[in-house]
Amino acid sequence: MPSDNAVTVPALRGPAAADAWLHRYAPIVDDPEAFLAATKEPLPRVVWANPLRAPVSQTNAEIRALVPNAQPVRWRPNTWRLPPETQPGTWLAHLHGDICVQEEAALWAGDLVGAQPGDRVLDLCAAPGGKTAQIAVAMQDSGTIVANERKHGRLARLRRTLDRLGVTCAAVTCGDGARIRSMDGFFDRTLVDVPCTCEGTTRKSDGRREAVPTRYRDSIVQIQKSLLRAALRMSRPGGTVIYSTCTYAPEENEAVLSAIRSDQATIEPLIPPPGLQVSAGLPQWQGEIYRPDVVNAARLWPHHNDTGGFFVARLRRL
C-alpha cells in the first residue's frame, strides 16, 4: 500500500498514466533497464521480531516454522523476507505483537535515528507506527517518544500498532507538525518521514501507477520543507534529524535538503550496514545545483536490494 503519509494525488489519464513517467529517472540510475523491470515485480513481505513482546529467538523459530522458505534480511538482524503472497497480518504472532510487518527499505530510516534508552525522540509524521516501534525497541522502551500525526483518521491505527507491539514510552499527539511551537529545542532525535508522492511504491499491489502532476509535486514540496524546518527547530543543538521519503524525485529529496541553510544543519555521511546497497545523493538535477553535502544522503533503488524505492538523510542541528 502507499505510504501512510501519502496524500491523494489527482489521477492522470491516457499515455501520461503509463509507467513511462519512471523514465525521467533513467539518467540518475546505474542500470535503467534493471530499475524499470524491478518496479514491476511484486514486493516481498518483510517482518521483524519484536523483543518487547517475546524473546526474538522464539519468534524467529516461529517464523521459520510458518514459512520454511523465509530468508533472513542480510543487513538487519531478526528481520525476515517472505514471499509476496504471504499474509503475516493473519498470524497469531501478529495479533500478539510478536512481529511487525514493515517495508524493508523503510526500516533503515528508523534504525538511523540511533535512539538510546532515556532519549527524548520526536516522530513527526508517525502513522501507522512501525518506525515509532523501531525507535522504542532501540530505546528498550525507556525514555520519551512523541508520536505525532496530523490526520485524526490515522490516530486509531497508530495507537493500535503501538499497543499491539507493547510500546509504553510513546505519547500520541495530533497536530500539524509544521505548526508545533511548544517543544522547540526539546528533542535529542527527530524522525520526519514526510508526506510524499510515493513513487517508490510501484511494487505494492496498490502502489503508485500514475505520473505526478507538476502542480501537486510543487505543493507537497512546500509541506516537506516546512516539516523539515520544524523538525530542526524542535531538535536541541547537536541533535539528530532523519529526513526520509519513499519517492525518487530530487525535487522532494535533495532539493528539500538544499532549502536548509548550511548554518542551521549539516548533512552527515551515512554508512550502510553490510548487505545494504545504497547510492549517494545527487549534486544536481535538471540544471539546479544543490548544497554540496547532499551527496551524503542515500537512495535505495528497487533493483539493488529487491525493495521499494526510498531516500534518507541524517542532519545534525548546529
Residue 185: closest CA among 237, 123, 129 = 237
For the record, the C-alpha cell of 234 comes out as 524542535
Residue 191: closest CA among 142, 237, 143, 245 = 245
Residue 22: closest CA among 210, 166, 160, 175 = 210
* Beta sheet of 45-49, edge-to-edge order: 71-72, 79-82, 45-49, 99-101
- Rounded distance between C-alpha atoms, residue 123 and residue 41, angstroms: 31
* Active-site option among 125, 169, 196, 246: 246
- Rounded distance between C-alpha atoms, residue 259 and residue 251, angstroms: 11
Around Cβ 154, how many Cβ atoms within 10 Å?
Answer: 18
Length of the chain: 318
CA-CA distances (angstroms) from residue 11 to 7, 14, 65, 226, 309?
A: 12, 10, 43, 25, 21
- Asked about 125 being catalytic, the answer comes back as no
- Give the torsion through C-alpha atoms of 232, 237, 238, 239, to 10 deg: -40
Task: List the catalytic residues.
Answer: 246
